[in-house]
Amino acid sequence: MVPDATARCRAIDMSKDKSDKKNTSLRLDSKTLKALKVRAIEDDTSVQAILEFLVGEYLNNNIKIKRAKK
């Protein structure tokens, strides 16, 4: 993850009160989840913060998701 994004993920970890959050389920391939956890540790952040950051970027139209061709 780029340094600026890593810092923003750490800020997300620290800034939000858990009382205003809702739970959701997510299914990831076991290898993907393991790699995500390792990367979070390397970047001194959490999987939660990474996902919140990426969802926020998506909702702010800063990243686009390519649709798979049928």
| Any domain includes 18 | no
How confident is the model at residue 39, as a pLDDT? 97
Handedness of CA 58, 61, 63, 67 (dihedral sign): positive
What is the span of the domain harbouring residue 45?
Answer: 1-12+28-64
How confident is the model at residue 17, as a pLDDT? 66
How confident is the model at residue 47, as a pLDDT? 96
Provide φ and ψ at 5, rounded to 5°. -65, -40
How confident is the model at residue 1, as a pLDDT? 62
User: Total domain count for the chain?
Assistant: 1
**Series of mean pLDDT values for 10-residue runs along the chain (70 residues):** 67 66 94 98 96 95 86
| Any domain includes 23 | no
| Any domain includes 33 | yes
| Any domain includes 36 | yes
Token pair of 18, please? 């858990």
Token pair of 63, please? 């990243």
